[in-house]
Amino acid sequence: MKNSSQDRQGRSGLKSECLGFPAILSLGIANVAPTTAPAMNLPPIFAYSGNGTWLAFLIATIGLVFVSLNINQFARRKASSGSMYTYVARGLGPTIGVLCGWALTIAYTFGGMAALAGAVNYVNVLLRLLGFQVFPFLIFAICVGLAGFLAYKGIELSTMLMLGVQVISFLLILFLALIVLSRHGFVPDMAQLSLQGVSFQNLQLGLVLAVFSFAGFESATTLGEEAKKPLKFIPRAVLVSTVVVGLFFIFTSYVEVLGFEGNQVALDKSDAPLNFLADSAGVSFFGVLISVDTVIHLFAASLACVTAGARILLSMSRHGLLHRSVASVHQRNQTPHVAITLVGVVMFLVPALLSLLDIKAMKIFEYTGTFASYGFMLTYILVSVAAPVYLYKQRRLRTRNVVLAVLAVLFLLIPVVGSVYPVPPDPINKLPLLFLVLIVLGGGWFLWRCWRSPRLIDQIKRAVEANHNEV
């Protein structure tokens, strides 16, 4: 067993131990894209949960803390670029691990599409102020091209950009929230705190969307080969990103619902709620600043998805699941340039084609974001089941580990069931079936590869074991 950074770099080609805790944390937060919740996700959540919107986010935060603790059973014992693909393979075997890796690749790729669609929407919101619009196809091309270039040039540049965007985003929205609170005299909103008019069924429906708002919080786990002190910094980043983003969602949802009380425009009817709050508070320029920042933030989210998705493909290719060229790493930049290109091309083609069919950017955001959430939900369930199995194999299983896994799975079943029942409107109701088709195709591809290469499963097992003993 060798532990040197030179050894790891020699095998992977990725730049070893170059990222500190702030950079690692920034990827997890950027993949969640927390600005999108108050800027875009909150109106539909409020439509279901009303005065219980803040509670939906509180429950989601607690539930995903359970999930993050299960993820960290692996993250504090092993580090790799394969993220939960290798975690699940270690706990439940290569076959389930491959399905997890495929689901996570879908999740990051479609999550990036949703971020791009959101950016396109806000670009045109800003351009309307200048009296013109730009065809979405062109904006998609520019955003994907720039994200791919930054991901290709180096992980340090990418994460520093994401870190700066996170800080500016949080400060702008928190400052606007304080202005709104001051206009209401910092008096507690008893309608929200007493859950006036909130039913359990409506709260459940809002919880589905609230959980989806966190999707991608675990993406720091893809930086196992590039992080300094990965067994310390990565699990800390997974947990901190969940808590920080959760608190941000709870606070901003409470303030936003309060800010819309008594206004002619209802929160669930607003397509730019933060701009409306800024106008109502007499600081319209703040709305423009937040719109600009939202574009940058959503772009950073798409960059985070390219970065994370490419590293999943890199790991799967190393294990013989994809063509060996996908495992190529750029000699100078030490980035997985082929995998980055693959993710970027798919991330561009789907929303670009949808825009050519005259589907609006907000609808593309809704469709691709919902589709991505299925991949994340499946992955979170698999890793929560895998954690106690893995600990049992290591002879480290404790009762509390089983309790955490059960709580996480039970919690995740709420949004899973809620995504199919009651039956959502068309075409959202067709997305779960399409996701299932892609998962079956991924499983079929794996079976075909196993038929062509009978020793593939043993090869993956050895690779995962070697990775497990690496650090």
Query: Where do the DSSP E strands lie in 79-213?
Result: none
* C-alpha span between 331 and 335 (Å, rounded): 8
Structure tokens that stand for 267 in this block = 């929160």
Average pLDDT, the chain: 87
Question: Closest by alpha carbon to 155, among 201, 105, 223, 108?
Answer: 223
Entry pTM: 0.89
Least confident span in 51-55, 110-114, 317-321: 317-321
Distance, in Å, from the CA atom of 74 to the CA atom of 79, rounded to the nearest integer, reads 8
CATH 1.20.1740.10, domain 5-468, yes or no: yes
Check whether 433 has a pLDDT greater than 80: yes
Cβ 162 vs Cβ 300: under 8 Å: yes
Question: Looking at the DSSP assignment, which residues form a beta bridge with residue 19?
Answer: 227
pLDDT at 199: 87
Find the mean pLDDT for residues 38-55: 91
Q: Give the pLDDT band (50/70/90) at residue 13.
A: low
Q: Is residue 190 within a helix (H) or strand (E), and if so which, with residue range?
A: helix 190-193
Average pLDDT (380-391) is 96
Phi, psi of 218, deg, nearest 5:
-90, 5
CB proximity list for 462: less than 8 A, separation 6 or greater:
none
Give the separation between CA 222 and CA 266, rounded to whole angstroms. Answer: 40
CB 319 within 8 A of CB 81: no
pLDDT range class, residue 431, cuts 50, 70, 90: very high
Place of tokens 């409506």: 202
Q: Find out whether 60 and 37 touch, Cβ atoms under 8 Å.
A: no
Q: What is the mean pLDDT of residues 217-242?
A: 90
**Pick from 348, 393, 320: which is nearest to 94 by CA?**
320
Cα four-point dihedral sign 170, 75, 104, 373: negative
Domain coordinates in residue numbering, the chain: 5-468
Q: Classify residue 41 by burial, with Cβ atoms within 10 Å: 0-12, 13-18, 19+.
A: buried
Neighbours of 308 (CB within 10 A): 31
CA–CA separation, 445 and 430 (whole Å)? 23
**Structure confidence by residue, pLDDT tens digits, 367-385:** 998 899 899 999 999 999 9
Percent of the chain with pLDDT over 90: 49
168: how many CB neighbours lie within 10 A of its CB?
Answer: 16
Question: Which tokens belong to 279?
Answer: 């106008």
Identify whether 235 is preceded by a cis peptide bond (ω within 30 of 0): no
> DSSP for 14-68?
SPTT-B-HHHHHHHHHHHH-TTHIIIIIHHHHHHHHGGGHHHHHHHHHHHHHHHH
Q: How many whole angstroms separate alpha carbon 25 and alpha carbon 33?
A: 13
pLDDT exceeds 90 at position 466: no
Residue 354 has pLDDT above 70, yes or no: yes
Q: In the beta sheet, which residues pair with residue 204?
A: none
Q: Which residues contact 223 (CB under 8 A, 6 or more apart)?
A: 19, 24, 27, 81, 155, 230, 234, 311
**Cβ burial, residue 312 (10 Å; 0-12/13-18/19+):** buried
Spatial separation of the C-alpha atoms in residues 166 and 162, rounded to whole Å: 6
Whose structure tokens read 């439509």?
A: 47
Separation CA 237–CA 397 (nearest Å): 24
